[in-house]
Chains A and B, each alone.
Chain A
Amino acid sequence: MVNQIHKVLIIGGGHTDIGHETELDGVIYQTIQTFQRLGIKTLLLDNNPYSISLESVQPSNMFIQSVTVDNARNIIEKEQPDAILPTIGGLLAIRVTQELLETGVLGENEVRILGMPPLALQQISNPALTQQFLTQINQPVIRSQVVKDFDDAFDVLRDIGYPVIIKSVSPWGDANRQLCENEDQLDSALESGFEQSRIHQCVIEQSVVGNKEIEMVAIRDKSGTKLLISGIENMDPIGIHSGDSIMFVPTQTLTDREFQTLRDATLSIIQALKITGVLHTQFALNSETHSYYVTKISPYFDRSVSLAAKATGYPLAHVIANLATELQLAEIKLPDNYAKQIALMEPTVDHVVAKFPLWPFEDVPSADDHLNTVMKSVGSTIGIGRSTEEAMLKALRSSQLSPKDVLPQIKLNDNELIDQLIHARSTQIFALVEALRRHYQVDELSELTKIDPFYFYKIKHLIKIETETIANPMDAKTLEKAKYFGFGDGMIAGMWQVSIDAIRTFAKESQILPTYKAVEPTAGEFDKVSTIYYSTFETENESKKLEAKSALVVGRGGNQLGPNTSADYFTVSLLNQLRKADYKTIIINTNPNALSLIPQLSDKQYVDPIQLGDLLNIIELEHPEVIFIPGNRHYLTRELKKRRLPVVVLPPDQEAGVELSEQANLELSLFVTDDEVTPIELVRLLSGDHSNQLDQVSGFKTPPTLSEDEQNLIITQAVAEAKKRNLRGLVQVLFLQSQDQVKFTGIRPARLTEIAFLNKVTGVNWIRILVQQKLGLLSPDSLATFKLNLHPDRVVLMQFNYPFNQLRVKNQAGSSQQQVGAEIAFGSTDEIARQELSNTEQKNK
C-alpha cells in the first residue's frame, strides 16, 4: 500500500490558539520525518511563523499560506498529491478536508484521505450524523432535541427527565446554557430561551453536569488491530471544559470494570469508524449508576492525544504516521531509541502524571475567570511522580509564574470561599486547599464541587506534610518525607526560613538524593526504551551522566500569553544547533505540548519543575559543559551564575547599552560581532491601535514603505548607534517615523518573536549564527556574503493573534504580551499579503 503513496499534502493547524498549542506542529514535524524514512514526499500548508515543521520540508514543498479550502485546492490542483492527511492539523484541518471532499476537489484530483475513510470524516463533521452513528453502534449518547414551544419541551422532558439544559437556537447574542432541575427553572429558561432565539427555538438536552469526565486515546491499524494508549481522568466534573481541568494519567479513581467499559466503547468506536490512526474519546461517567455517555469523538491528534503520548512515553506520533500510510502495527519500524516491540504493546506506566492549566488572566485582566464549558486556559504544565501527591505538587509548582518556587495563598472569607467552590474559578486549586485547611469535610466538599473524594484526601495529605514540615525545621526524616511527596527546595526553604543552599547541603548530608526514573510504556519490561526522565526520591536512579560533552537547555515551561510559542521554537533551534556543534543535548521542560520535548530533538529530556533546586539537581548529575537559558529568566540566571555555573543567556541578556523610549514604528535588525555590524532586515512595527507604542506592537511588515534616502539614513545611523555600544549578537535599532522625519528611539537585543520572523523572511537561521557566536565557532567571513535585501516585490506580514473572542473580551487592541499565536503571510504586494491574513480571520469567524 505504501508504494502507492508518493506525495502527501499535510494540512497544518494554523496559528496556535486556546485549545491547540505547539503539539500540532510537533506531530507534523515527526510525521514529516517518518514520511521521509518511508520515501514519501510531503507538502505542507501552514502559516505559523513559529513552526519547526515548515523548516523541515524543502522550500518548494512548503506552502506558507493561510489554511483555507481555496489555498488547499490550489495546491492540490497544481501539485497533484496522491493523498491528503487531515488528522494532525487539528479541527481546522478536518474542516478544510471535509469541505475539499464535499466540493469534489479530492475526487476530481484523485486524492485519497489518509487516516480515516471519507464516511468517517463526514460522520464526525456533522453532530447529527455523529449522534446517529453512535446510536447505531449502541453507544449511549446524550439526548437532545430542538423544540418550538412549551408543550414540545415538556413532551421531550417526560422522555429524558431532569436535569436538562436549555440552549437557544441561533440566538441574538451570546446565549447561556441554562441548567434546569425542576419545572420552575425549566419554565423560565424556556421563556428566555425562546425570546433570545431568532427563530423561536430551543434545544433541550439531557444534563450530565457533575459526572466524571474521562477520556481515552486509542489507535487502530488497517487490519483492525486496536490498542488503548491511555486513559485520562479529569479531576473536574463535566461542566468545566476538559482543557481547563486538572488532569491525571493514568485514571485515578476508576474501578477495573469502569475502565474496561470505556476502553471497550473506545475500541468499538474506532473499529466502526475504520480509523487508521488515533481516536480520542470523551465520556461522562456516572459512578453511582455505573452508566456513561459518549460526549465527544475526535479521530485526530489533539492536546489529549499529546498528553497520552507524553505521559506514557509511547512513540505515538511515529506510529500514527505509519498507520496513516496503511502499514500494520506489527510492521512498523520505530526510531532506534525504541525497543522494536513497543509499538504493539498497550502502554502500562508506573508513574502518575498530573496536568495543570495555565491562565491568561494576568495578561487579560478584564476577562472573567469563572470556569465553564468554554475553554480559557492557554497552556499547561505537567508534573510526573510516583504518587498522586508528588505528581500534583510538581505540576502545581511548575504552573506558578514565580521563579522562587513558592505557592500563593488566597484570602477569602467563608462566603467567598463557598462561592468559589460551587462556581469554580481559575484559582480553584487554592480554594480547595484553603477549604481543607479550614477543615471543611471531604464529603461536603465533594458534594459542592462534584470532585471525587480521592483528590481531597490527597490534598489533605499534602497539607498534613506541610504542617509537619513547618513544625520540624532541619529534621532529616521530615525533609525526606516532604521531598518524597514533591515539595521543592524553595518551598521547604520558605517554610524553614533558611536559604535554598542550606536545604541542599542538609539534604546531601542526610543522604536525601533525587533518583531519576524513565518515562516508558512497559513498566520496566524493556531496558533503554526511553530518554525521558523525571525525578523522585526512591532507591534506584536510572539516569546516568551522558558520556560526551553535553549542553543543558532550560525550557520555557508551560505556554502563557506572550512570546512563549516563539520561545519554544527558539529552544528547538538551539538544541539543533548545539547538536551540530557536537554537543549531547539535554532539555528540561514541563510543557506537555512543547516542541522541545520531542525525544528525537535532544539526547535526554527531563520533565521536572523548572525551579532552581530541581535544575541544580540535574546539573549536579549531568555536569553539562554549558547551560543555555533562552529568553529572560533573571532569577534563575543570577542564581546559576552565583554558583559559577557556565550559563549562557540567549538572546544575550544585555542590560548595559540598552536604550528604549516608549515609541517606535521601524526596526532595523543587525548582527553585531566584535569586528563587524551587518544589517539584516528593516521592519515596520505595526500596532493595532496605531499608537506606535512599543508595548502595543501587534505585528511586523517588511519592507516598510520608505524612500531610499530614508532607508540609507536609518542604516547608517543604526550601524553607528550599534558601534557606540557593547551589544553583541542580534541587535535591534528602533526608530520612530512621523510626518517627515525618522528619529532614533532605542536599541536592544532582538526579541524571540522577531527572530522567528527574521528567520522566515531572510531564509537564514539566525539562531544558528547566535549559537556559533556564543561558542566561538563563527568564522569571521561567514556573514560576508549576507546582504540586506529589501525585496521591493515581496511583502512579508506577520500578525499576532489574540484570544479575546474566546475570552469574551471586547474592544481590546492587543499587545505583543497578549499574543496567543501568530500568522505570517507572503505576497507580491501589501494588499495580497493582507488578504492572506484576513482570509484566516474570516475563516475564524
Chain B
Amino acid sequence: MAERYLILEDGSSFKGEGFGSSATTTGQVVFNTSMTGYQEIVTDQIYHNQIIVFSQPTIGSTGINHDSYESILPTAKGMVVRDLASISKNRQRRLSLDQFLKQNNIPGISGIDTRYIIRKLRKTGTIKGSIVDVDDDHAFDQLHATVLTNQQVAQVSTPKPYPNPNTGSNVVVIDFGLKNGILRQLSKRDCNVTVLPWSATAESITNLDPDGVILSTGPGSPFDLPETVLDMIREIQSKVPLFAIGLGHELFALANNATVTPMLSEHHGANHPIRQIITNQIIFAAQGQGYAIDAKSVDREKLIITYVDLINGTVQGLRHRDFPAFSVQFFPDAAPGPDDSLDIFDEFTEIMSTREE
C-alpha cells in the first residue's frame, strides 16, 4: 500500500499507509473511543465531513456485515487507524473494509500513532485535517484554504419521503442524518414508519396523523439549520408525542430556549457513565456530540433534565413538563455501543399507545 500522510491544521504531519480510496480528503478530525463497531461508526451520517480517528487499534477484523450498516451510503471523509486488518466475512468473502472504503470513495490511513493524535486533539479541540500523498506546503495551504460545508444535514437527509410499513404505531421520523439503528428499534416494535426530509413542515407531518414523531440524529451544528426547523418542533411537541435524539435533542433544546454551545473537542465513545436522574441508575450508551446543552440555561419551568454525563457534566436528556416530549443526547439505539438504554424506545411506544386509545 502507498505511503500517505495525515496532516493537521496545526502544522503536524504523520506518515502512514493509505487504504481505501486513494483520493485526497479534508475534514474535521474527530476521534471515537468505542471498542467495537467500526462499520457502524464509519457508516453513521453524523460523521459527514469528518475524518475519524479510532482509539481501538485493530480495525477491520470483522469485515463488512450486512446487519452493521448505519446508512447505506457513508459520508465520512476518512478513517485513521493504527492497525488495519483486511478480512472479508460475508458469504462470498468479498467485502473487506478496504474494499468497502474504495467503493465508497473514502480514504483511510493506517500505521498512525492514533493515541498521540487523540491526546493532542483533546487539547487543541476539533481541528481540520487531510489525508494526502505528499505533506508539502501546498498540501497545508490547501488544507487551510478548504472551507467545509455547513449544509451537512441537507446533504445527508433523504430528499424524498419514504415509508417503512408495519402494523403498529404510526411514527414519523424526521431525517437529519438518520442512523439505521433508530429504524431498527422501531421495526422491532412493529412501528409503521414514514421518514420525512429534514425540512418537513409541521403541516406535512400532522397530515400523516402520526402517533409520535422522532427527530433523528445527524451531523454538524444545530445552528446551521434555519429557524423554521425550531418552529416545526415547537408546533409538533404541543400536538404529538415527540422523541429527539442527538442533533434532534440539540434542536429540541434550542426550540425550548436552552443554550447550546460547542465543546472543545467532540466526544465520541461509550465509556462515560450517564446518570438517569429519576432512578439514580447509571447507564452506558454510545455518545457522539460536538455540542452540549448548557444546564444553567435550561428553563426548569418548562424542561426537566433527565440524564447527565458524570464525567463532563453535560446534559444528556430533557423532558418537557407540559407535553409528552423528551430527548436524549446519546444514542439509545446503540449500534455500536451498549444496549443499556434501549428501553427508551419502549417508553416512547408506550406513550404513543396510551395516546392512541
A539 to B82, CA, bound (A): 12
B273 touching A227 by the CB < 8 A rule? yes
B115 touching A350 by the CB < 8 A rule? yes
A524 to B111, CA, bound (A): 18
B118 located at the interface, meaning its Cβ lies under 8 Å from any Cβ of chain A in the complex: yes
Within 8 A of A (CB), among B279-315: 280-282, 284, 310-311
A231 to B36, CA, bound (A): 11
A345 to B67, CA, bound (A): 28
- If A250-B35, A347-B271, A350-B57 touch, does A540 touch B338 (CB 8 Å cutoff)? no
Mark B166-186 against chain A: 1 for CB-CB distance below 8 A, else 0.
000000000000000000000
How distant is B287 from chain A, measured CB to nearest CB, in Å?
Answer: 12
B65 touching A344 by the CB < 8 A rule? no
A494 located at the interface, meaning its Cβ lies under 8 Å from any Cβ of chain B in the complex: no
A264 located at the interface, meaning its Cβ lies under 8 Å from any Cβ of chain B in the complex: yes
Q: Which of A254-262, A597-605, A632-640 contacts B (4 or more CB under 8 A)?
A: A254-262
B85 touching A540 by the CB < 8 A rule? no
A351 located at the interface, meaning its Cβ lies under 8 Å from any Cβ of chain B in the complex: yes
A253 touching B62 by the CB < 8 A rule? yes
B156 located at the interface, meaning its Cβ lies under 8 Å from any Cβ of chain A in the complex: no
Within 8 A of B (CB), among A426-463: 453-454, 457-458
Chain B hits for A515, CB < 8 A: 113
Q: Which of B223-231, B244-252, B329-337, B343-351 contacts A (4 or more CB under 8 A)?
A: B329-337
Chain A hits for B334, CB < 8 A: 256, 260
Q: A524 contacts which of B61, B82, B86, B122 (Cβ < 8 Å)?
A: B122
Within 8 A of A (CB), among B259-292: 269-273, 280-282, 284
A344 to B308, CA, bound (A): 14
B67 to A, closest residue via Cβ: A257
Q: Is the interface of B mostly helix, strand, loop or mixed?
A: loop
A524 touching B67 by the CB < 8 A rule? no
Chain A hits for B118, CB < 8 A: 350, 523-524
A349 touching B35 by the CB < 8 A rule? yes
A254 to B33, CA, bound (A): 16
B116 touching A539 by the CB < 8 A rule? yes
A350 touching B55 by the CB < 8 A rule? yes
A453 to B271, CA, bound (A): 29
A263 to B, closest residue via Cβ: B338
B119 located at the interface, meaning its Cβ lies under 8 Å from any Cβ of chain A in the complex: yes
A525 to B, closest residue via Cβ: B122
B256 located at the interface, meaning its Cβ lies under 8 Å from any Cβ of chain A in the complex: no
A540 touching B113 by the CB < 8 A rule? yes
A341 located at the interface, meaning its Cβ lies under 8 Å from any Cβ of chain B in the complex: yes
Q: B310 contacts which of A259, A263, A330, A523 (Cβ < 8 Å)?
A: A330
Q: B269 contacts which of A352, A523, A539 (Cβ < 8 Å)?
A: A523
How distant is A268 from chain B, measured CB to nearest CB, in Å?
Answer: 10
Mark B80-112 against chain A: 1 for CB-CB distance below 8 A, else 0.
001101110000000000000000000000010
Chain A hits for B113, CB < 8 A: 386, 515, 538-540
- If A344-B310, A345-B311, A348-B270 touch, does A256 touch B58 (CB 8 Å cutoff)? no
B206 located at the interface, meaning its Cβ lies under 8 Å from any Cβ of chain A in the complex: no
Mark A375-390 against chain B: 1 for CB-CB distance below 8 A, else 0.
0000000000011110
B324 located at the interface, meaning its Cβ lies under 8 Å from any Cβ of chain A in the complex: no
A388 touching B68 by the CB < 8 A rule? no
Interface-central residue, B35, B269, B270, B339, by most chain A CB under 10 Å: B35
A345 to B272, CA, bound (A): 5
Chain A hits for B269, CB < 8 A: 348, 523
Mark A709-745 against chain B: 1 for CB-CB distance below 8 A, else 0.
0000000000000000000000000000000000000
A522 touching B68 by the CB < 8 A rule? no
Chain B hits for A484, CB < 8 A: 111
- If A256-B335, A260-B339, A388-B83 touch, does A524 touch B115 (CB 8 Å cutoff)? yes
Chain B hits for A524, CB < 8 A: 55, 115, 118-119, 122
How distant is B90 from chain A, measured CB to nearest CB, in Å?
Answer: 12
A830 located at the interface, meaning its Cβ lies under 8 Å from any Cβ of chain B in the complex: no
A71 to B72, CA, bound (A): 65
How distant is A759 from chain B, measured CB to nearest CB, in Å?
Answer: 42
A107 to B87, CA, bound (A): 57
A552 located at the interface, meaning its Cβ lies under 8 Å from any Cβ of chain B in the complex: no
A264 to B, closest residue via Cβ: B339
A30 to B283, CA, bound (A): 28
A261 to B, closest residue via Cβ: B339
- If A253-B62, A259-B36 touch, does A458 touch B85 (CB 8 Å cutoff)? yes
How distant is A26 from chain B, measured CB to nearest CB, in Å?
Answer: 25
B338 touching A387 by the CB < 8 A rule? no
Q: B115 contacts which of A231, A263, A344, A517 (Cβ < 8 Å)?
A: A517
A227 touching B86 by the CB < 8 A rule? no
Chain B hits for A251, CB < 8 A: 35-36
Chain B hits for A140, CB < 8 A: none
B280 touching A223 by the CB < 8 A rule? yes
A329 located at the interface, meaning its Cβ lies under 8 Å from any Cβ of chain B in the complex: yes
A576 located at the interface, meaning its Cβ lies under 8 Å from any Cβ of chain B in the complex: no
B34 located at the interface, meaning its Cβ lies under 8 Å from any Cβ of chain A in the complex: yes
A350 to B114, CA, bound (A): 9
A539 touching B14 by the CB < 8 A rule? yes
A576 to B273, CA, bound (A): 36
- If A345-B271, A523-B118 touch, does A454 touch B33 (CB 8 Å cutoff)? no
B40 located at the interface, meaning its Cβ lies under 8 Å from any Cβ of chain A in the complex: yes
- If A227-B273, A256-B68 touch, does A348 touch B34 (CB 8 Å cutoff)? yes
A263 to B334, CA, bound (A): 13
Interface-central residue, A253, A260, A349, by most chain B CB under 10 Å: A260
How distant is B116 from chain A, measured CB to nearest CB, in Å?
Answer: 4
How distant is B91 from chain A, measured CB to nearest CB, in Å?
Answer: 11
Within 8 A of A (CB), among B127-159: none
Chain B hits for A61, CB < 8 A: none
A224 located at the interface, meaning its Cβ lies under 8 Å from any Cβ of chain B in the complex: yes
How distant is B353 from chain A, measured CB to nearest CB, in Å?
Answer: 24
Within 8 A of B (CB), among A345-397: 345-352, 386-389
Chain A hits for B39, CB < 8 A: 255-256
B187 located at the interface, meaning its Cβ lies under 8 Å from any Cβ of chain A in the complex: no
- If A348-B271, A539-B113, A540-B113 touch, does A388 touch B58 (CB 8 Å cutoff)? yes
Chain A hits for B58, CB < 8 A: 252, 352, 387-388
Within 8 A of B (CB), among A511-528: 515, 517, 522-525
A64 to B273, CA, bound (A): 42
B62 to A, closest residue via Cβ: A255
A267 to B281, CA, bound (A): 14
A387 touching B82 by the CB < 8 A rule? yes
Mark A205-248 against chain B: 1 for CB-CB distance below 8 A, else 0.
00000000000000000011101100100000000000000000
Q: B281 contacts which of A224, A252, A344, A346 (Cβ < 8 Å)?
A: A224
Chain A hits for B126, CB < 8 A: none
B61 touching A454 by the CB < 8 A rule? yes
A389 to B, closest residue via Cβ: B83
A260 to B40, CA, bound (A): 13
Chain A hits for B62, CB < 8 A: 253-255
Q: B85 contacts which of A225, A228, A388 (Cβ < 8 Å)?
A: A388
Given A341-B311, A344-B310, 20 extra CB contacts under 8 A:
A225-B281, A255-B65, A259-B37, A260-B339, A341-B310, A345-B271, A345-B272, A350-B57, A350-B82, A350-B115, A387-B82, A387-B83, A388-B58, A388-B61, A454-B61, A454-B85, A517-B115, A524-B118, A525-B311, A538-B115
| Minimum-distance CB pairs A-B, first 3 | A256-B37, A256-B336, A387-B83
CB pairs A–B below 8 angstroms (14 shown)? A224-B281, A225-B281, A250-B35, A252-B58, A344-B273, A344-B282, A348-B269, A350-B115, A387-B57, A388-B83, A388-B85, A453-B87, A524-B119, A525-B33
Interface residue ranges, A against B (CB under 8 Å): 223-225, 227-228, 231, 250-257, 259-260, 263-264, 267, 329-330, 341, 344-352, 386-389, 453-454, 457-458, 484, 515, 517, 522-525, 538-540
Interface residue ranges, B against A (CB under 8 Å): 14, 33-37, 39-40, 55-58, 61-62, 65, 67-68, 82-83, 85-87, 111, 113-116, 118-119, 122, 269-273, 280-282, 284, 310-311, 334-340
